[in-house]
A and B are shown apart, each in its own frame.
Chain A
Amino acid sequence: MGYQLNFAPVWRDFDLLLSGLALGLVMAIFSVLVVGNLIGLAAAFAMTSRSTALRRIASAYVTIIRNLPIFFLMLVTFFVLPQQFGIRIDKVQAFVGTLSIYAGAYLTEVYRGALLALPKGLREAGLAIGLTEGQTRLWVILPVMLRNALPALSNNFISLFKDTSVAAAIAVPELTFYARQINNNTFRVIEVWSVCSLMYVAVCYLIAAGLRVVERRLAIPR
């Protein structure tokens, strides 16, 4: 097995890999922390609301999305929407849309858990000082709940960031896509995949460490 390690082809295209990594991060941040978060919060409040219809809709959304593979959802968004409904979307938009809806379902579970863990007295206290139901939610419940949800949120964020690699299958130019391209062009199999996976590992570590700092900063002092 005369395999000689030669990292030169990988370093030559390292900026491509870095740009892919950046795209993956941007997609993850936008669709998880922005859109997914909003969906998650809305659905979590819907799930704990008094209206049966809202509860049903939110829990159907969560159950369906959580039991479907992201790869499947992505293919449906990318192929079915344009073909059957004439909605023309770009592959990056298709993936960001998919990841947002997918992330929303996971974050709903996170926030629902955090909401249920809150003591009842919190809402009552808000109402007692004369805030309306909506104000209590926004100014009393939400800040406490978000801080409690942070550890679970960061776990989910990391795992959803790793899911951005799936986008390579519809040719979104992110890290895995470029790694595969370099692999196919140069056959430096060991080099390219070890570099690619180490980049993912490193970024996951950095995200975890960064979020842990945020967590400690925002932790509710006891």
Chain B
Amino acid sequence: MLDFTRFFVEIYPARWAILEGVGMTLVISFLSIVLGTILGIGVALSLVYGGRVQRFAVRAFLEYVRGTPVFVLILACYYLLSQLVQLTPFQAGLIALTVFCSSHVGENLRGALLALPRGQTEAAKAIGLTFRQTFVYVLAPQALRQALPAWINTASELVKASTLLSVIGVVELMLTTRQIIARNFMSLEFYCLAGIIYFLISFSIERLGRRVERRIALPS
């Protein structure tokens, strides 16, 4: 069972490894959220405003990615891309998570854009805004607010999905933990530590999200 004295003896030499693992988890989640959101905005825009062919292609991509488990995406990116071009596990994992994130953000933002009443676009047109202006000043601010709760959810989903990258050899928190346990067999203690860290990350994203949501909610 829990042996705290030994735990503190064992955690001391592992302290940098754990911190690096946490850092890697945060960095890869953050990067994939940022890149995935950018890509997702593109996805949503082409789904809502694209031509017929573009819409069809993007829809097919979206359905495909959303029907595939993240783990399969990660493995496929890793094996596929490392055969075609030389990629490190980090890069392959980042691509997989970015694609995963973009599908979620795309679908979510598309819903938010379509949920806006038509009158908004018409009003913007009536006062003489161009399409670009309409989007930037009228539609985007409302759609982004609408999409925010689900976006926060996606962010915490990505942190959780990043644990799967340990399988392809990205040394993030999960793999670090497993390496430490392989050395000292203190599985309960170090899994507990990892669990607490993951819980804190995910929980604070959720709390932060709720706070931001309240702050920027549309006054009704």
A binds B: yes
A79-B187, A80-B188, A190-B80 are contacts. A67–B71 as well, Cβ < 8 Å?
no
A169 & B167 in contact (Cβ 8 Å cutoff): yes
| A201 near B163: Cβ-Cβ < 8 Å | no
Residues from 178 to 204 in A contacting B, C-beta threshold 8 Å: 179-180, 183, 187, 189-190, 193, 196-197, 200-202, 204
Q: State whether B80 touches A179 (Cβ < 8 A).
A: no
B68 and A68: CB pair below 8 A? Answer: no
- Total interface residues on B, CB under 8 Å, equals 39
Contact status B80-A200, CB under 8 Å: no
Complex interface residues of chain A between 42 and 72 (CB less than 8 A to chain B): 63-64, 67-72
Asked if A124 lies at the interface with its beta carbon under 8 angstroms from chain B, I say no
Asked if B75 and A176 sit within 8 Å, CB to CB, the answer is: yes
Q: Are A76 and B191 also in contact (CB < 8 A) when A64-B199, A70-B160, A166-B71 are?
A: yes
Report how far A168 CA is from B70 CA in the complex, Å: 12
B156 within 8 A of partner (CB): yes
Are B79 and A183 in contact (CB-based, < 8 A)? yes
Which residues on B sit within 8 Å (CB–CB) of A204? 66-67
| In the complex, chain B residues whose CB is within 8 Å of the CB of A190 | 80
B83 proximity list for chain A (CB < 8 A): 3, 187, 189
Residues of B within 8 A of A4 (CB): none
Query: Is A63's CB under 8 angstroms from B203's CB?
Result: yes
Contact yes or no, A72 B72, CB < 8 A: no
Q: Do the beta carbons of B1 and A84 come within 8 Å of each other?
A: yes
Contact of B187 with A72 in the complex, beta carbons under 8 Å: no
CB-CB under 8 A for A67 and B67, given A83-B185, A183-B79, A190-B80: no
A68 contact from B1, B198, B206, Cβ within 8 A: B198
The reply to whether the CB of A145 lies closer than 8 angstroms to some CB of chain B is no
Q: When each residue 62-97 of chain B gets 1 if its CB lies under 8 Å from chain A and 0 otherwise, what string results?
A: 011011111111011001100110000000000000
Q: In the docked arrangement, what's the CA distance between A185 and B64, Å? A: 26
A165 and B79 contacting across the interface, CB-CB below 8 Å: no
Q: A residues within 8 A CB of B84?
A: 1, 3
Cα of A111 to Cα of B161 in the assembled complex, Å: 25
Q: Indicate if A163 sits at the interface (CB-CB under 8 A).
A: yes
B145-180 contacts to A (CB < 8 Å): 156, 159-161, 163-164, 166-167, 174, 178
Asked if B102 CB lies within 8 Å of chain A CBs, one says no
CB distance from A49 to the nearest CB of B (A): 24
- Name the one of B79, B181, B198 contacting A193, with C-beta atoms under 8 angstroms: B79
Given contacts A162-B69, A163-B69, A189-B83, contact A197 B76 (CB under 8 A): yes
- Among B1, B156, B178, B188, the one with the most A-chain Cβ atoms within 10 Å of its Cβ is B188
Choose one: A71, A180, A183, A196; the contact of B164 (CB below 8 Å).
A71
| A79: min CB distance to chain B, Å | 5
Q: Nearest residue in A to B178 (C-beta to C-beta)?
A: A75
Nearest CB in chain B to that of A175: its residue = B72
Taken together as a complex, chains A and B put the C-alpha atoms of A75 and B181 apart, in Å, by: 12
Closest 7 CB pairs of A and B: A201-B67, A69-B160, A165-B69, A193-B76, A162-B69, A67-B202, A197-B68
Measured CB to CB, the residues of A under 8 A from B are: 1, 3, 63-64, 67-72, 75-76, 79-80, 83-84, 162-166, 168-169, 176, 179-180, 183, 187, 189-190, 193, 196-197, 200-202, 204-205
Q: List 26 A-B contacts (CB under 8 A).
A: A1-B84, A3-B83, A68-B198, A68-B202, A69-B164, A69-B174, A72-B191, A75-B178, A80-B188, A80-B191, A83-B185, A84-B1, A162-B68, A162-B70, A163-B69, A165-B69, A166-B164, A176-B69, A189-B79, A193-B72, A193-B75, A193-B80, A197-B68, A197-B73, A201-B63, A201-B67
User: Apart from A1-B84, A3-B83, A176-B72, what are 10 other A-B pairs with CB-CB below 8 Å?
Assistant: A3-B84, A67-B198, A68-B160, A69-B198, A71-B163, A79-B191, A80-B191, A83-B187, A166-B71, A179-B72
